[in-house]
Chain A
Amino acid sequence: MPFSLDAAAEAAILAGSRGAAAERARAFDELFRALREPVLSLALHLTGRRPDAEDALQEAFLDVHRALDRFRGEARLSTWVYRIALRAAIRVRARRREEARSGAGRPQGDPSAAGGEVEGPGTGGEADMLARLEAGRVAAALDRLPAEQRAVLSLFALRGLGHREIAEILGVPEGTVWSRLHAARRRLAAEVGRAPP
């Protein structure tokens, strides 16, 4: 899973995004292909449910598509996309909570099932089943964390973004991301029920 684009790929996409309609479409397709999986991953960890994550993915790339030709390169292109994705995921989650409170919209469901149905013992190996159960437990714990802690954990969980880029995405000083990650990790461990002593 790629997490960011190298400078040459970014430059090519940006050049394409300012070209004719066909070039713009190609540039967007390339950007979408490069970042769709990490953006979905981020959205899944932030929203807690696959349908919400897909809605956030759609809204994020809709925003990217309509603003790409106006992007002036103040940050890296991938940083800009991740910022948009963060905002989209937070917005979708807030909307879903609001709908749940008012009794409208889809049911909240159990975030522990965010990774899909847990396979039965007969449909996969025991290790797979345990991994999915653990994923469900962590997803449920993650769901109880504040948005900023979920965001920092999600960005680091992508395992490919540097801490500088994560700091830029979150809009915090570089040194702050490590302490924020540490605090979030301890809180998550406490929520999972195995807080380090």
Chain B
Amino acid sequence: MTGCDQQQIAIERRLHGDLGDAEAASLEAHLQSCAACRAYQAAARGTEAAMSEQVRAVLHEVDWEKVRRSAARHRAFWREDVVSTTAAIAGAALVGWWLVPAEKLQGRWPVLLAAGLAAIALTAFVARERSRGLEADADPFELLAAYRTRIRRDLTRWRRQLEIYAILPVVALATSVFPHWPDTSALPYLLGISAVVGALAAYDLLVRLPRAKRALADLEPRD
């Protein structure tokens, strides 16, 4: 304590725009005769300037977009589950529509449609509940770690899927066409399956994998 505590608090108040004119005049008069308070004022201004400089030096180094993406990431998981399930069911329906004769489907499509919609709804419900369970009161650090684990698991799964996508048409072609060559009546169906599988593989390769890798990079701790 210097005996000037009130004046030094007044210095702080003036520095931060909270001192009235009368008090400011009184403080100014005190400062004329008090070296300790002048030193305090200089130190206060100096440290605030230094703290601003510290911030100024790093502001341009921060990847704001990366931080924004990672903070907003947590709503994405359950939606991705729903989109994946919907895409898988749509793909299966397309292949089924192509391969199964129309007369066999007659009268059954409302049931199949209902089953598909129910599967999507169930996936949405389970994914959302799982997401809520993960997020409820979780420490953000643990949550980020859980997101990273989840993305790494997805990446592994999708890479395995890609291997299967690559093998599947070759196996189908080998087992269905070559033993009966030159009867190639199954070829259009195989080409259709290959096209669907190829589209899924391309989606994984060009969209899902790069997006997941970027998300993982966003969520990694800095340094």
Contacts and interface: CB of A to CB of B under 8 A. Distances in A.
Interface of A: 21, 25, 28-29, 32, 36-37, 40-41, 44-45, 50-55, 57-66, 88, 91-92, 95, 106, 114-116, 131-132, 134-139, 142, 153-154, 156-157, 159, 162-163, 178-179, 181-182, 185-186, 188-189, 192, 194-197
Given A63-B140, A65-B74, A131-B50, A44 B58 contact: yes
A186 B48 CA distance: 13
B53 A58 contact: no
Contacts of B44: 185
Nearest to B43: A189
A36 B35 contact: no
A159 B48 contact: yes
B32 interface: no
Contacts of B143: 62
Contacts, number: 164
A197 B39 contact: yes
A196 B70 contact: no
A139 B71 contact: no
Q: Is the interface of B mostly helix, strand, loop or mixed?
A: helix
Contact of A192 (B39, B47, B62): B47
B36 A196 contact: yes
Interface residues of B, number: 49
A132 B57 contact: yes
Interface of B: 2, 5, 8-9, 12-13, 16, 18, 35-37, 39-40, 43-44, 46-59, 61-62, 64, 67-68, 70-75, 135, 139-141, 143-144, 221-223
A195 B44 CA distance: 11
B72 A28 contact: yes
28 contacts: A25-B72, A32-B67, A32-B68, A37-B59, A40-B55, A40-B62, A50-B58, A54-B62, A55-B221, A57-B67, A58-B71, A62-B73, A62-B140, A63-B140, A106-B223, A115-B56, A134-B46, A135-B57, A136-B54, A139-B50, A156-B12, A178-B12, A178-B13, A182-B8, A185-B44, A186-B8, A197-B2, A197-B36
Contacts of B135: 66
B72 A115 contact: no
Contacts of B36: 196-197
Given A37-B55, A163-B18, A178-B12, 18 more contacts: A21-B75, A54-B67, A59-B140, A59-B141, A62-B74, A62-B140, A115-B55, A115-B56, A131-B49, A131-B53, A132-B53, A135-B54, A138-B50, A139-B50, A188-B47, A192-B47, A196-B36, A197-B36
A142 B48 CA distance: 11
A88 B139 CA distance: 10
A185 B54 contact: no
A114 B58 CA distance: 8
B51 A154 contact: yes
Given A29-B68, A185-B43, A197-B36, A66 B50 contact: no
Contacts of A32: 64, 67-68, 71
Which 5 A/B pairs are nearest by Cβ-Cβ distance? A61-B71, A138-B50, A51-B222, A115-B57, A59-B140
B9 to A, nearest CB: 5
Residue of B8, B13, B72, B75 ringed by the most chain A CB atoms within 10 A: B72
Given A36-B64, A159-B16, A196 B40 contact: yes
Contact of B68 (A61, A114, A153): A61
Nearest to A134: B50
Contacts of A40: 55, 58-59, 62
